[in-house]
């Protein structure tokens, strides 16, 4: 939004000739406003959208069924056992939380870095964050043996005078994830208020008008309001940045704090955060590419955005690769027989195929992103992003399952096989996520209108007279 | 009989009986024991009693047409009268004597202990029974009993579950229809009288072997009343070989007893003397362990085992030689020859060295050596053993001969054969089967069922409506030993009194009462029968005092048989051993009693079914055990299903490659494949009896052909050692983990600190924190891996003490077994003849418990006594603690496994232990309820807890005394002393978890001459 | 005050502009002309605008800071009180005051309180939600959420005079001028 003049001019004559602009020329406040708003207000409901929503809802139904059965019978319906006390539930939790990182990252960190190109993708990236965190947030509850007592995780004065055990990373999780969810939600809403005002004014139908009106809280674009608004927005970005980094760090503590070989590693926090951003941007592309295609937003979500995301994926992918390497290196360098065996077991043990496909998906495949050709090809980007998402899921599978199957005492080694209920819950959450996304793009401006306006050249106040 | 037919409406609800009448009688009926005994008088007519029983669903049969609403009302009132027959517990009427450890009168919440005995086969297992408010809840060893020495075995521990088994037969039936005792008595009067007329020539009684003096006296009485009648004793897993062997050697039946405390060298010829069920097991386990203590230095005993089927006994051997059962005799002869005790065969070349060294070692220890043959070995081997023992001068030292424990020993198979022939010949008019199940377990070639169907009147007295039940007219439901008065001889002859803890749950007659009713005109209570007999025996002195003492102690003092001098009839002439018969058969099948469910009579006991078999660690199944090498040779892998063909008789079973199993032979455990054994037993495993014939009861030649594959086994120990295929190449899971620490006796004496050579213990001062101080009580446990014989008794004891649920085969396969205590087995060396180590693993009670730190709700925290407590009702079930437990001792209720409904189980549970429900983590607590008892008593008496005052369930049960528990702050406590020893080490020390449970390193005593070859 | 009584019963006068630049210039001119009680309205944030009308700093950062401090301190205090005073437990041999472990929740509490304080503070200071505002009576004002820029001088301003102010505004060459009724 408040770009310095130098950047404005930069936007105008686009100093990176080899790269597409952030905004295609020939647009005005009005045109952009209409284009984004009409996608919600006047565009008729398409068959594609209905089909997509239907699939999402279908999977969501499966999720509901699976959860009902889970609560009736118990976590025994899953593949978990002793020694593998954590299975799909925690894998999915970490996976979703990771995906949930891109949104805040784009809106907060890129904002602080004055990366104006973020303006056209931050809105649905944040939405994506919320829905991903919603999916993730279910699992800590679902995986409990007695989920009806989940509130014991929170500090409240109970009749027994007992409290949560604050040394446990699981309690840290509760704090980190709930804080993250809250902050992301308010951040998202605050960003939406001015656009709700726009929708309020554009809406023809009186009901729509009043709903958007309520959400807009009577926003009227006053300079004073904008001033405070800006101040808050920057501050939110400022605190959301350490937050987003802390969340996956805390999630990685679930493993790093324990003594399980393959978990007890100091490299986990950075490596988990990088992985989170990695999968997060993959999900952003998986969503952005179809959306810009079906809603004809190529002029606002340009190749520039896709390519920058691809570059970030490439960078974080390399960090993750570094993590894989050092996991292995430390396993041998540490001289711990347990660590060493754990690594050998990952490479050659019963789950070796998962490990190597993870390396292939997360490390080998993304290297093609070095090629500008690939980065310029939406289909390739879409495909690679999907591969990365699968790879990141496998990474969590490897970390959690292989480490637990064979730890200290060979006598108590075990094996893990997921049941149909494990899969039901996993794909169920994908349903929840996609259903939410589909509904979101129908009822809210998928791109931040007011921030797009600031990208226009004329938005800048020319200082020809003093 | 026909007038008993319950299908007549008036028989079901007799018109003369009015509701008011019942009510009035009910009102008159006194509560308490008297009330229950008077149930039949209350009901007055069989029909009514009969009707009452119809309230029980299992017996519910078709309603008679005539039933009206009025009948229904009667039924209701009647069932009110009966309400609780299945839920209340009744004290027996006679004065039973509580054990001195507890006050005589019942104090609520204070358990009483009663001495009693479990008859097992012919032998008594001495026990103490813990009773809560009149409900027996736990079996323990009787420390004062000379034959028990305080230990107990899996069968004794699990027997409590047998008593409360809801599948037990609850009524008398005639042709499957409900009947009554009076009905039965009346029905039998006629036939018995007609038998009297013919001197009982048509009367046959089939029972399990009898050692009870009282029962023996009844046998004589029966014989007197029916001179020509025959009483056949048979058990499928019998000791005919032992008897024939002793006849070969001495021309008479003798009982052989070993004194392992005096034994410096022990040679076992397939003798499985360290496993539950072997006569004298408790005694041998304790004495064997005592002599295996390395602190004895040179006096530590050396144990050679020539073994066919791998057993936990062989696992303890310093030198184990796995050979096919049929080849043991050949080896025995070679050894005997080496000792100049006849024999005269030469061992195979590869065995020469072993035999030579063994013979030399035995020679060198004349008078302190002992040879122990196995029950399943042919008589010749026993004869040889006798010869060798006398040649070694063992007799009188390490070997003692006595009268037989059985009152009237028989060659059982022969006796049964005779019975079958007589039945087929139609010579038998009245067959009474007392507690045995021949239709299931008689040799296949006898076709017992067919034969017994020839008998006009067939009566079964049994606790179960089993396979035999289908072939009898009358079934009389039997009592459990905790419900009856009786007596029985332990392996050394000591008479052990069985006193009941409760009146029969299902109003049953004890076997004594049952037999008595055949001869005695008037009905007599079991108590009077037993007491009267002993009144006759204990002449002189104050009988009442003597009787009271006997019942109180659980045994009649000095009734152990004295040593008996027998003269060997020179070197026995030997039958040609199987080994010599020309070419060896393709496959040799060895039949063995199951280590857990014995001969099948324990098959309906879920605890035993779920306890992993010693060494093999397989549960809920029997398998075709085969050596990995043979398996590879025949292209068989774990789970392949093979058909075993023993001259035409076929049975299918799954393959289990077992390390240490001799090649070209298979082992089949008997007792499985029950069809009417009960809800637990039925359909589990396959029935080995189908291919077991009278001529080859232990060793038979067979063909095996693969007919299927992919059979799933339940192995609580998650990791199969024999199958390294899924292990990363070149990785050795045990390397550098120092889980098992061992040395030879020489090394130990040279370097007593061997256990701590390579460890990476974290120095205590290496911490940022101030360690907590445990000032008053500081509980700790040591487990001596040198004494542990891997018998798994501790597991069952723990299950009984702590109300641990059973999860069943499918859940066990998923890795969700619940036993708090497990006995890990580690193999060392190749699969051909690996070294074996047992390591019982309860919760290690770490001082720096990793599980506690990660629990988000503080459901597992440390107590001031240093215990790692579980707060069940605080647990939300995140399972993080289990993930973070390096010893994986935590167990999780993934599903609802506790049986909340079955009334019998409600009675059985230990009221002092919380019953965990779904979604809660649980684990070993060091039997915190017992600790609390000890602490409270100490506080009341205003003193500190005495050493040995608190005994954990596993410790109490351990026959080898391997587990020691106590207060570490008490420097004089046994546990403190043991922990001070150098052999003492803790598991995974480098993790700095500081466990309170520590282990005593293994010290073996191999023969230096053989050592080199062993270490291959 | 007496002067105010003379002023007509309207909220103020509003001028409409096409571009942010014109709006900012107009605002500066009005400020120079001595008007204080006025506000600029735009479809997107324009820093120069708030500067031009003499609104230089907001108190939002202070609110955020206070919120953060409150959250962090109370978070740590709660944990310390629970583990050391209220219910001390020996957890795996760790000291009661395991402050390193308490840092994480304290940090999260800091963020949570700071964020929420900021958001609620911002809306409160802005007097939102405010469903009704006189400006909404002017139809063209709806374009402020789309592409138009407005400057409104309020009647409450002491220097406000319907005639003079209107004349002044015309001098700014706006697209249109409208009276804003109450």
ipTM of the complex: 0.89
Chain C touching partners, 3 or more CB pairs below 8 A: A, B
With CB atoms and an 8 Å threshold, state whether A144 touches B919. Answer: yes
Output the six-digit token pair for B551: 């019942």
With CB atoms and an 8 Å threshold, state whether C50 touches A226. Answer: yes
Long-range Cβ contact pairs of B676-679 (< 8 A, separation 24 or more): B676/B464, B676/B465, B676/B466, B676/B467, B676/B469, B676/B470, B677/B440, B677/B464, B677/B466, B677/B467, B677/B600, B677/B603, B677/B604, B678/B165, B678/B167, B678/B464, B678/B603, B678/B604, B679/B167, B679/B604
Q: Are residues C99 and C138 in the same domain?
A: no
Q: Are residues C25 and C78 in the same domain?
A: no
Q: How far is C181 from chain A (nearest CA, A)?
A: 16
What mean pLDDT is reported for chain A?
87
Contacts of B848 in chain C (CB under 8 A): 92-93
Q: Is C48 on the interface with A (CB under 8 A)?
A: yes
Give exposure, B602-612, as e/b (b: 16+ Cβ within 10 Å): bbbbbbbbbbb
Contacts of A404 in chain B (CB under 8 A): 883
Residues 6 or more apart from A201 whose CB is under 8 A from it? C142, C143, C145, C146
Q: Is C95 on the interface with B (CB under 8 A)?
A: yes
In B203-264, which ranges are E strands? Answer: 203-207, 230-233, 255-258
Query: What are the φ and ψ backbone dihedral angles of A407, each rounded to 5 degrees?
Result: -105, -120
Residue A210's CATH number: 1.20.1630.10
Output the six-digit token pair for B286: 């304790």
Q: Which residue of B has its CA nearest to A171?
A: B856
Domain count, chain A: 1
Q: Are residues C104 and C150 in the same domain?
A: no
- Selected for mutation to probe chain A from B740, B795, B841, B876 (highest A CB count within 10 Å) is B876
Contacts of B861 in chain C (CB under 8 A): 89-91
Q: List the single range of B103-107, B749-753, B934-938, C125-129 with lowest mean pLDDT.
A: B103-107
Q: How far is CA C155 from CA A353, C7, C131, C158, C162, in A?
A: 76, 7, 21, 8, 8
Q: What integer pLDDT is reported at residue B829 of this predicted model?
A: 74
Q: Is C88 on the interface with B (CB under 8 A)?
A: no
Q: Are residues C64 and C105 in the same domain?
A: yes
Task: Pick B176 or A102 by higher pLDDT.
Answer: B176
**H runs (alpha helix) in B54-136:** 69-82
Task: Give the largest CA-CA distance in chain A.
Answer: 83
Contact B694, B413 (CB under 8 A): yes
Q: Going by DSSP bridges, is the β-strand pair C149-154/C176-181 parallel, antiparallel, or unpaired?
A: unpaired
Q: Which residue of A has its CA nearest to C140?
A: A201
Q: Which domain holds residue C78?
A: 60-125
Residue by residue, DSSP assigns B710-776 as -PPPB-SSSS-TT-GGGSPTT--TTTTT--S-EEEHHHHHH-TTGGGSS--PPPTT--SSPPPP--S
Contacts of A259 in chain B (CB under 8 A): 850, 884, 886, 991
Residue A160: inside a domain, yes or no?
Answer: no
Q: Which domain holds residue A65?
A: 5-148+166-459
Q: What integer pLDDT is reported at residue A11 of this predicted model?
A: 45
Q: Is the dihedral of CA C157, C162, C167, C173 positive or negative?
A: positive
For the segment B74-96, what is each residue's pLDDT rounded down to a tens digit? 444 444 444 444 444 555 666 66
With CB atoms and an 8 Å threshold, state whether C107 touches A246. Answer: yes
Say yes or no to pLDDT of B47 above 60. Answer: no
What mean pLDDT is reported for chain B?
84
Q: Are residues C67 and C119 in the same domain?
A: yes
Q: What integer pLDDT is reported at residue A296 of this predicted model?
A: 77
Residue C16: inside a domain, yes or no?
Answer: yes
Counting residues of chain B whose pLDDT is more than 90, the rounded percentage is 57
pLDDT tier for residue B758 given thresholds of 50, 70 and 90: confident
Q: Is B884 on the interface with A (CB under 8 A)?
A: yes
Number of Cβ within a 10 Å radius of residue B547:
18
Residue A156: inside a domain, yes or no?
Answer: no
Contacts of B843 in chain C (CB under 8 A): none
With CB atoms and an 8 Å threshold, state whether C90 touches B861. Answer: yes
Residue C5: inside a domain, yes or no?
Answer: no
Q: How far is A113 from chain C (nearest CA, A)?
A: 18
pTM: 0.88
Contact C24, A461 (CB under 8 A): yes
pLDDT tier for residue C158 given thresholds of 50, 70 and 90: confident
With CB atoms and an 8 Å threshold, state whether B856 touches A348. Answer: no
In 3-state terms, what secondary structure has residue B555?
Answer: strand
With CB atoms and an 8 Å threshold, state whether C93 touches B848. Answer: yes
Residue C25: inside a domain, yes or no?
Answer: yes
Q: Which residue of B has its CA nearest to C94?
A: B769
For the segment A281-293, what is each residue's pLDDT rounded down to a tens digit? 999 899 889 888 8
For the segment B677-709, what is each residue's pLDDT rounded down to a tens digit? 999 999 899 999 999 999 999 999 999 999 999
Say yes or no to pLDDT of B325 above 80. Answer: yes
Measured distance CA(B112)–CA(B128) in Å, rounded: 10
Measured distance CA(A40)–CA(A198) in Å, rounded: 12
Contact B233, B415 (CB under 8 A): yes
**Nearest to residue A93, comparing CAs of A257, A240, A254, A323?**
A254
Residue A359: inside a domain, yes or no?
Answer: yes
With CB atoms and an 8 Å threshold, state whether C41 touches A176. Answer: no
With CB atoms and an 8 Å threshold, state whether B887 touches A408. Answer: yes
Query: What are the φ and ψ backbone dihedral angles of B824, each rounded to 5 degrees?
Result: -75, 145
Q: Are residues C66 and C51 in the same domain?
A: no
Q: Which residues pair with B737 in a beta bridge?
A: none
Contacts of A332 in chain B (CB under 8 A): none
With CB atoms and an 8 Å threshold, state whether C89 touches B850. Answer: no
Q: What integer pLDDT is reported at residue A59 of this predicted model?
A: 94
Half-sphere exposure of B723 (CA within 13 A, CB side): 13
With CB atoms and an 8 Å threshold, state whether A82 touches B919. Answer: no
Half-sphere exposure of B889 (CA within 13 A, CB side): 28
Rg (CA), chain B: 29
Q: How far is B789 from chain A (nearest CA, A)?
A: 18
**H runs (alpha helix) in A203-265:** 206-216, 223-256
Q: Are residues C110 and C68 in the same domain?
A: yes
Measured distance CA(A45)–CA(A34) in Å, rounded: 17
Measured distance CA(B245)–CA(B241) in Å, rounded: 6
State mean pLDDT over B965-971. Answer: 93
Counting residues of chain B whose pLDDT is more than 70, the rounded percentage is 85
Q: Are residues C64 and C118 in the same domain?
A: yes
State mean pLDDT over B195-215. Answer: 92
With CB atoms and an 8 Å threshold, state whether A182 touches C116. Answer: yes
Nearest by CB to A86, from B815, B816, B879: name it.
Answer: B879
Contacts of C83 in chain B (CB under 8 A): none
pLDDT tier for residue B735 given thresholds of 50, 70 and 90: low
Query: What are the φ and ψ backbone dihedral angles of B61, each rounded to 5 degrees?
Result: -120, 180
Q: Are residues C51 and C16 in the same domain?
A: yes
Query: What are the φ and ψ backbone dihedral angles of C10, each rounded to 5 degrees?
Result: -125, 160
Contact B685, B672 (CB under 8 A): yes
In 3-state terms, what secondary structure has residue B564?
Answer: coil
Measured distance CA(B807)–CA(B804) in Å, rounded: 10
Nearest by CB to A223, from C42, C61, C91: name it.
Answer: C42
Highest mean pLDDT, choosing among A383-397, B75-89, B346-360: A383-397
With CB atoms and an 8 Å threshold, state whether B853 touches C91. Answer: yes
With CB atoms and an 8 Å threshold, state whether A222 touches C53. Answer: no
Q: How far is A406 from chain B (nearest CA, A)?
A: 9
pLDDT tier for residue B578 given thresholds of 50, 70 and 90: very low
Residue A350: inside a domain, yes or no?
Answer: yes
Contacts of C81 in chain A (CB under 8 A): none
Measured distance CA(B937)–CA(B111) in Å, rounded: 13
Residue C2: inside a domain, yes or no?
Answer: no
Contact A198, A219 (CB under 8 A): no
Q: Are residues C50 and C140 in the same domain?
A: yes
Residue C170's CATH number: 3.30.70
Q: Are residues C65 and C120 in the same domain?
A: yes
Measured distance CA(B325)–CA(B938) in Å, rounded: 55
Domain count, chain C: 2
Q: What integer pLDDT is reported at residue C52 of this predicted model?
A: 84
What does the DSSP 8-state code read for residue B479? P
Q: Is B854 on the interface with A (CB under 8 A)?
A: yes
Q: Are residues C19 and C106 in the same domain?
A: no
Torsion of CA A129, A130, A134, A137, to 10 degrees: 70
Residue A32: inside a domain, yes or no?
Answer: yes
């Amino acid at each position: 939004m408040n770009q310095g003049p130098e950047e404005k001019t930069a936007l105008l004559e686009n100093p990176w000739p080899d790269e597409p602009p952030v905004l295609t020329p020939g647009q005005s406040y009005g045109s952009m406003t209409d284009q984004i708003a009409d996608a919600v207000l006047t565009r008729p409901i398409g068959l594609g959208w209905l089909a997509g929503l239907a699939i999402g809802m279908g999977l969501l139904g499966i999720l509901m069924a699976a959860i009902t059965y889970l609560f009736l019978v118990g976590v025994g319906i899953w593949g978990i056992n002793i020694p593998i006390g954590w299975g799909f539930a925690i894998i999915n939790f970490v996976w979703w939380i990771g995906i949930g990182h891109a949104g805040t990252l784009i809106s907060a960190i890129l904002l602080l870095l004055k990366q104006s190109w973020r303006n056209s993708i931050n809105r649905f990236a944040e939405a994506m964050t919320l829905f991903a965190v919603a999916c993730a947030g279910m699992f800590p509850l679902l995986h409990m043996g007695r989920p009806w007592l989940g509130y014991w995780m929170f500090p409240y004065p109970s009749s027994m005078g007992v409290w949560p055990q604050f040394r446990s990373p699981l309690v840290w999780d509760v704090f980190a994830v709930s804080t993250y969810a809250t902050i992301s939600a308010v951040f998202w809403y605050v960003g939406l208020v001015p656009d709700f005002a726009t929708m309020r004014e554009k809406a023809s139908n009186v009901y729509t008008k009043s709903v958007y009106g309520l959400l807009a809280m009577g926003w009227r674009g006053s300079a004073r309001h904008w001033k405070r608004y800006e101040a808050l927005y920057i501050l939110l970005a400022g605190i959301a940045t350490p937050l987003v980094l802390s969340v996956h760090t805390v999630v990685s503590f679930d493993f790093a704090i324990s003594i399980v070989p393959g978990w007890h590693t100091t490299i986990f926090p950075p490596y988990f955060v990088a992985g989170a951003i990695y999968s997060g941007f993959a999900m952003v592309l998986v969503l952005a590419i179809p959306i810009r295609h079906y809603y004809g937003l190529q002029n606002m979500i340009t190749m520039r955005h896709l390519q920058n995301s691809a570059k970030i994926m490439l960078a974080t992918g390399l960090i993750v690769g570094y993590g894989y390497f050092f996991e292995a290196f430390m396993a041998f360098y540490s001289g711990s027989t347990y660590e060493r065996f754990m690594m050998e077991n990952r490479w050659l043990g019963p789950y070796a195929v998962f490990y190597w496909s993870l390396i292939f998906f997360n490390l080998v495949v993304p290297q093609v992103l070095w090629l500008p050709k690939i980065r310029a090809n939406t289909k390739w980007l879409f495909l690679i992003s999907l591969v990365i998402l699968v790879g990141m899921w496998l990474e969590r599978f490897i970390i959690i399952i292989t480490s637990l199957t064979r730890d200290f005492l060979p006598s108590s080694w075990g094996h893990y096989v997921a049941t149909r209920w494990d899969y039901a819950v996993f794909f169920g959450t994908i349903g929840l996520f996609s259903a939410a996304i589909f509904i979101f793009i129908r009822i809210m401006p998928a791109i931040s209108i007011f921030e797009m306006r600031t990208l226009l050249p004329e938005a800048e106040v020319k200082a020809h007279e003093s | 009989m026909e007038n008993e037919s319950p299908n007549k409406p008036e028989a079901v609800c007799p018109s003369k009986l009015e509701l008011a009448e019942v009510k009035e009688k009910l009102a008159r009926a006194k509560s308490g024991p008297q009330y229950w005994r008077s149930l039949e008088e209350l009901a007055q007519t069989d029909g009514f009693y009969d009707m009452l029983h119809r309230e029980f669903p299992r017996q519910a049969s078709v309603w008679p047409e005539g039933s009206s609403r009025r009948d229904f009302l009667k039924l209701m009132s009647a069932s009110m009268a009966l309400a609780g027959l299945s839920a209340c517990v009744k004290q027996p009427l006679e004065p039973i004597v509580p054990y001195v450890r507890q006050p005589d009168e019942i104090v609520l919440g204070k358990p009483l202990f009663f001495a009693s005995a479990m008859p097992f086969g012919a032998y008594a297992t001495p026990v103490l029974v813990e009773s809560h408010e009149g409900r027996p809840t736990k079996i323990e060893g009787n420390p004062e009993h000379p034959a028990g020495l305080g230990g107990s075995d899996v069968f004794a521990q699990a027997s409590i579950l047998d008593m409360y088994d809801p599948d037990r037969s609850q009524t008398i039936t005639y042709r499957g229809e409900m009947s009554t005792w009076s009905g039965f008595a009346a029905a039998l009067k006629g036939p018995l009288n007609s038998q009297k007329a013919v001197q009982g020539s048509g009367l046959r009684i089939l029972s399990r072997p009898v050692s009870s003096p009282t029962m023996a006296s009844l046998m004589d009485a029966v014989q007197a009343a029916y001179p020509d009648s025959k009483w056949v004793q048979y058990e499928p897993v019998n000791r005919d070989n032992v008897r024939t062997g002793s006849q070969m050697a001495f021309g008479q039946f003798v009982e052989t007893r070993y004194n392992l405390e005096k034994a410096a060298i022990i040679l076992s010829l397939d003798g499985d003397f360290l496993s539950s069920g072997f006569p004298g097991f408790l005694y041998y386990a304790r004495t064997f362990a005592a002599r295996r203590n390395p602190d004895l230095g040179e006096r530590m005993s050396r144990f050679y085992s020539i073994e066919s089927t791998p057993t936990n006994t062989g696992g303890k051997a310093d030198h184990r030689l796995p050979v096919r059962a049929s080849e043991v005799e050949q080896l025995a002869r070679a050894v005997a020859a080496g000792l100049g005790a006849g024999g005269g065969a030469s061992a195979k070349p590869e065995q020469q060295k072993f035999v030579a060294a063994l013979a030399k070692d035995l020679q060198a220890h004349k008078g302190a050596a002992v040879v122990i043959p196995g029950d399943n070995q042919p008589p010749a081997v026993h004869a040889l053993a006798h010869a060798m023992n006398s040649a070694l001068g063992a007799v009188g030292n390490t070997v003692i001969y006595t009268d037989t424990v059985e009152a009237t020993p028989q060659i059982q198979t022969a006796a049964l054969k005779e019975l079958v022939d007589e039945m087929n010949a139609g010579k038998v008019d009245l067959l009474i089967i007392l507690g045995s199940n021949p239709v299931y377990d008689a040799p296949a070639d006898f076709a017992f069922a067919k034969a017994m169907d020839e008998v006009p009147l067939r009566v079964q007295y049994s606790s179960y409506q089993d396979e035999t039940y289908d072939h009898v007219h009358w079934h009389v439901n039997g009592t459990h030993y905790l419900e009856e008065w009786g007596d029985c001889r332990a392996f050394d002859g000591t008479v052990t009194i069985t006193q009941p803890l409760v009146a029969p749950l299902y109003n049953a007659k004890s076997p004594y009462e049952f037999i008595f009713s055949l001869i005695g005109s008037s009905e007599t209570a079991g108590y009077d029968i037993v007491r009267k007999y002993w009144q006759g025996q204990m002449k002189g002195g104050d009988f009442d005092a003597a009787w009271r003492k006997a019942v109180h102690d659980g045994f009649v003092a000095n009734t152990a048989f004295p040593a008996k001098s027998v003269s060997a009839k020179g070197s026995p002439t030997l039958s040609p051993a199987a080994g010599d018969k020309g070419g060896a058969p393709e496959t040799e099948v060895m039949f063995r009693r199951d280590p857990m469910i014995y001969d099948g009579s324990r098959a309906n006991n879920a605890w035993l079914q779920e306890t992993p078999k010693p060494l093999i660690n397989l549960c809920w199944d029997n398998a075709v055990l085969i050596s990995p090498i043979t398996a590879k040779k025949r292209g068989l892998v774990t789970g392949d299903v093979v058909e075993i063909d023993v001259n035409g008789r076929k049975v299918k079973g799954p393959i289990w490659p077992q390390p240490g199993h001799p090649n070209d032979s298979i082992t089949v455990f008997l007792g499985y494949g029950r069809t009417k054994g009960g809800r637990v037993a039925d359909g589990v495993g396959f029935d080995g009896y189908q291919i077991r014939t009278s001529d080859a009861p232990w060793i038979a030649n067979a063909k095996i052909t693969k007919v299927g594959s992919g059979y799933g086994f339940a192995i609580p120990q998650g990791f199969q050692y024999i199958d390294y295929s899924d292990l990363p190449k070149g990785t050795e899971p045990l390397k550098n983990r120092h889980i098992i620490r061992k040395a030879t006796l020489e090394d130990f004496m040279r370097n007593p600190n061997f256990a701590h050579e390579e460890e990476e213990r974290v120095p205590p001062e290496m911490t940022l924190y101030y360690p907590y101080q445990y000032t008053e009580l500081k509980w700790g446990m040591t487990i001596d891996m040198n004494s542990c014989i891997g018998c798994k008794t501790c597991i069952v004891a723990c299950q009984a003490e702590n109300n641990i649920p059973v999860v069943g085969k499918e859940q066990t396969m998923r890795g969700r077994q619940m036993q708090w205590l497990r006995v890990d087995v580690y193999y060392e060396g190749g699969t051909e003849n690996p070294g074996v180590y047992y390591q019982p693993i309860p919760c290690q009670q770490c001082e720096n418990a990793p599980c506690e730190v990660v629990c988000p709700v503080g459901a597992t925290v440390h107590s001031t006594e240093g215990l790692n407590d579980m707060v069940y009702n605080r647990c939300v079930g995140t399972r993080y603690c289990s993930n973070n437990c390096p010893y994986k001792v935590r167990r999780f209720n993934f599903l609802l496994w506790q049986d909340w409904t079955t009334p019998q189980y409600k009675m059985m549970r230990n009221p002092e232990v919380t019953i965990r429900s779904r979604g809660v983590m649980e684990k070993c607590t060091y039997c915190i309820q017992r600790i609390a008892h000890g602490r409270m008593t100490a506080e009341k008496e205003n003193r500190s807890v005495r050493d040995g005052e608190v005994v954990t369930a596993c410790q109490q049960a351990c026959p080898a005394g391997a587990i020691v528990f106590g207060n570490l702050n008490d420097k004089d406590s046994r546990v403190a002393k043991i922990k001070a020893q150098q052999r003492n080490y803790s598991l995974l020390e480098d993790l700095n978890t500081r466990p309170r449970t520590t282990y005593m390193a293994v010290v073996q005593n191999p023969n230096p001459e053989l050592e080199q070859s062993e270490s291959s | 005050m007496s002067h105010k009584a003379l002023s007509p019963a309207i909220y103020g006068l509003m001028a409409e502009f096409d571009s942010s630049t014109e709006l900012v210039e107009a605002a500066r001119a009005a400020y120079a002309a001595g008007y204080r009680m006025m506000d600029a309205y735009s479809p997107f944030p324009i820093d120069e605008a708030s500067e031009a009308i003499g609104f230089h700093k907001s108190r939002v950062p202070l609110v955020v800071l206070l919120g953060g401090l409150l959250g962090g301190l109370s978070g740590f205090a709660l944990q310390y009180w629970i583990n050391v005073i209220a219910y001390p437990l020996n957890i795996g041999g760790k000291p009661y005051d395991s402050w390193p472990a308490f840092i994480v929740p304290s940090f999260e509490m800091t963020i949570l309180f700071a964020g929420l304080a900021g958001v609620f503070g911002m809306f409160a200071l802005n007097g939102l939600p405010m469903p009704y505002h006189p400006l909404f009576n002017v139809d063209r004002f709806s374009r402020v959420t789309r592409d138009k820029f407005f400057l409104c001088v309020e009647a409450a301003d002491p220097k406000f005079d319907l005639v003079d102010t209107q004349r002044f505004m015309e001098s700014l060459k706006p697209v249109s001028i409208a009276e804003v009724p109450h």
